[in-house]
């Protein structure tokens, strides 16, 4: 292999380039090298059912207008209700909310028992104790392969005082090891 086709890690071990389409597991592992925050995205279905899913596919898009996005797997039980609801909330989890993250990562079951939340104007549940929460109006849906991408216009937000983020890196929950500078 030439230098373009093979790279070496810090310990000198070679890493061959792969085509993502040919090796989905390698693609998944490579994506896990990007540390992400953990959110719980919530909504209320047209039927009134409260919805919530753990997601690390959250991203800011624009400051003017204020836009964010998240993606939801097409096989998700709640996909239809999220697409029909018209609103959602993104709740950024604190490092002490790992158990809550694991609860909302499950496909079915009683996710809401004992969960402390409030309802703002749209009815999408806003979880208490989070680092930040964003109440959004669904502005657009996009095809994202095996996911649907939700673009939301932020209507209201809240940020907590202090706290540290719950992170996900290489398939595991993590936390910050040091305080931010400045």
Upper half-sphere CA count for residue 165 (Cβ side, 13 Å): 17
Please state which of the ranges 9-23, 49-63, 129-143 shows the lowest mean pLDDT. Answer: 9-23
pTM above 0.75, yes or no: yes
Q: Provide the token pair at 166.
A: 């719950």
Which is more confident, 59 or 24?
Answer: 59
pLDDT, tens digit, for every residue of 14-56? 566 666 676 677 777 776 666 678 999 999 998 999 999 999 8
| Domain segments of the chain as ranges | 36-169
CB within 8 Å of 17: residues ≥ 6 apart: 5, 6, 7
User: Helix/strand/coil (H, E, C) string of 48-87?
Assistant: CCEEEEEECCEEEEECCCCEEEEEEECCCCCHHHHHHHCE
pLDDT, tens digit, for every residue of 105-116? 987 778 999 999
Please state which of the ranges 50-59, 117-126, 157-166 shows the lowest mean pLDDT. Answer: 157-166
Give the span between the Cα atoms of 61 and 101, in whole angstroms. Answer: 24
36-169: CATH topology is Pnp Oxidase; Chain A (2.30.110)
Instruction: Give pLDDT, residue 5.
Output: 40
Residue 174 contacts residue 38 (beta carbons within 8 Å): no
Q: Residue 155 gets which letter from DSSP?
A: E
């Amino acid at each position: 292999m030439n230098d373009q086709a093979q790279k070496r890690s810090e310990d000198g071990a070679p890493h061959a380039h792969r085509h993502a389409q040919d090796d989905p597991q390698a693609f998944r592992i490579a994506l896990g090298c990007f540390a992400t925050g953990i959110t719980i995205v919530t909504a209320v279905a047209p039927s009134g059912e409260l919805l919530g899913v753990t997601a690390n596919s959250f991203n800011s898009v624009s400051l003017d207008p204020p836009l964010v996005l998240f993606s939801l797997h097409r096989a998700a039980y709640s996909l239809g209700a999220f697409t029909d609801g018209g609103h959602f909330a993104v709740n950024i989890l604190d490092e002490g909310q790992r158990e809550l993250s694991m609860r909302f990562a499950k496909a079915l079951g009683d996710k809401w028992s004992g969960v402390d939340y409030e309802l703002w104007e749209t009815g999408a549940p806003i979880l208490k104790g989070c680092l930040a929460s964003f109440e959004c109006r669904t502005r657009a849906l996009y095809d994202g392969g095996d996911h649907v991408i939700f673009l939301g216009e932020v209507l209201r937000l809240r940020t907590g005082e202090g706290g540290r983020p719950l992170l996900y890196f290489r398939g595991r929950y993590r936390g910050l090891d040091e305080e931010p500078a400045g």
